[in-house]
């Protein structure tokens, strides 16, 4: 018994570096990046067309939207084994986990529905009709409001998580891709890929308080297509992936001005921060790689080859 414990401690200790898990949409795999070595240490098979990806709070479960398998898969990150599927509705693309770690709000892209699944009972507890091609999924830090954006209806749908009913619909620019609440819950940020803008809403009044546009010298304005977004740990900045312009924008969260642009891989979609908050990892769909950005200098420091069409990214903190 003691020997076994010692052995497991010995085996576990070299593997304590944090990890970044990346879904590869066209390879049906997830790549596991070691944050210390910045190398891919494992690749695990998933269902078909994996896109959205997130960990539960204690990092013991990885949820994966396997879009073409019509399932949310639950993986044990310790082994890479798929434990079971959750009912997800058809074509789950992206989702968000409630702050209490229990409910997944899933965008069913082909069905114009937001599906709410209880991860413990493994049952669908609500389905909400939203606009065509729901994609962006945000949830307020207190868990009271879930926002689904619909790409073809061009709206943010504000859903009350008590009643699971839409309480408001806000028109945004063309093809909204991502919804992100500010960490204090007072603002909602929505990116519009074809509109080329990011809209900022006051959550209390749902009024638009700012609209951010982008401009990079030498890049056609049509290519500046905002997709994924992420706040910096101190909430002073927000990082915006600008798709086929192959750049990230760093936006000042107070002034709504773009501070700088960072060159990354081709068609940058989403991103995640390392658990120690020192590095940002972006998924670059077309170039099939991940760019690592140093958070202190805001410079790209490495490109890591992953699978084909990396889409989502989630960070796993190790104990």
Residue with smaller CB distance to another protein, 19 or 109? 109
CA distance 166 to 250: 32
Taking the complex as a whole, the smallest distance from the CB of residue 236 to another protein amounts, in Å, to: 30
Residue with smaller CB distance to another protein, 50 or 77? 50
Q: Does 51 bind another protein (CB under 8 A)?
A: no
How many CB atoms neighbour CB 235 within 10 A? 13
Q: Does 174 bind another protein (CB under 8 A)?
A: yes
CB 47 within 8 A of CB 15: no
Q: Is 308 helix (H, G, I), strand (E, B) or coil?
A: coil
Given 17, 42, 194, 298, the residue binding another protein (CB under 8 A):
194
CA distance 161 to 311: 27
Q: Does 19 bind another protein (CB under 8 A)?
A: no
- Chain positions 69 to 108 lying near another protein, rule: CB under 8 A, are 91
In the numeric block, the tokens 């074809």 are attached to 194
Residue with smaller CB distance to another protein, 47 or 196? 196
Q: Which stretch binds another protein (CB under 8 A): 14-22, 98-106, 190-198, 293-301?
A: 190-198
Q: Does 157 bind another protein (CB under 8 A)?
A: yes
Residue with smaller CB distance to another protein, 157 or 316? 157
Among residues 291, 301, 281, 293, the alpha carbon closest in space to that of 18 is found at: 281
Taking the complex as a whole, the smallest distance from the CB of residue 163 to another protein amounts, in Å, to: 17
Angle at 101 between CA 42 and CA 206, to 5 degrees: 110
**Which distant-in-sequence residues (6+ apart) come within 8 Å of 139 by Cβ?**
96, 97, 98, 99, 105, 145, 146, 147, 161, 181
Write out the residues near another protein by the rule CB under 8 A: 91, 109-110, 112, 131-133, 151-155, 157, 169, 171, 173-175, 193-196, 220, 222-223, 244
């Amino acid at each position: 018994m003691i020997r076994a414990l010692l052995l497991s401690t010995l085996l576990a200790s070299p593997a304590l570096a944090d990890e970044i898990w990346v879904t590869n949409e066209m390879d049906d795999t997830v790549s596991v990046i070691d944050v210390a070595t910045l190398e891919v240490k494992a690749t695990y098979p998933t269902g078909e067309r994996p896109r959205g990806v997130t960990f539960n709070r204690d990092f013991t479960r990885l949820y994966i939207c396997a879009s073409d398998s019509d399932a949310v898969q639950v993986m044990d990150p310790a082994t890479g084994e798929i434990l079971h599927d959750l009912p997800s509705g058809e074509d789950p693309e992206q989702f968000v986990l409630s702050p209490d770690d229990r409910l997944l709000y899933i965008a069913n892209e082909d069905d114009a529905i937001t599906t709410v699944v209880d991860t413990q009972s493994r049952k669908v507890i609500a389905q909400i009709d939203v606009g065509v091609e729901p994609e962006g999924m945000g949830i307020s830090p207190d868990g009271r409001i879930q926002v689904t954006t619909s790409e073809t209806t061009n709206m943010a749908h504000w859903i009350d998580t008590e009643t699971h009913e839409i309480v408001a619909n806000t028109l945004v620019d063309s093809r909204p891709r991502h919804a992100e609440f500010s960490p204090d819950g007072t603002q909602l940020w929505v990116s519009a890929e074809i509109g080329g803008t990011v809209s900022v809403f006051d959550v209390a009044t749902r009024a638009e308080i700012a609209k951010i546009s982008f401009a990079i010298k030498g890049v056609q304005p049509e290519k500046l297509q905002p997709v994924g977004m992420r706040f910096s740990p101190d909430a002073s900045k927000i990082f915006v992936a600008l798709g086929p312009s192959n750049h990230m924008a760093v936006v000042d969260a107070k002034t709504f001005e773009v501070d700088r642009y960072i060159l990354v891989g081709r068609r940058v979609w989403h991103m995640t921060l390392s658990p120690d908050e020192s590095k940002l990892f972006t998924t670059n769909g077309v170039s099939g790689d991940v760019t690592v950005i140093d958070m202190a200098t805001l410079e790209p420091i490495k490109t890591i080859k992953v699978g084909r069409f990396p889409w989502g990214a989630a960070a796993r903190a190790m104990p």
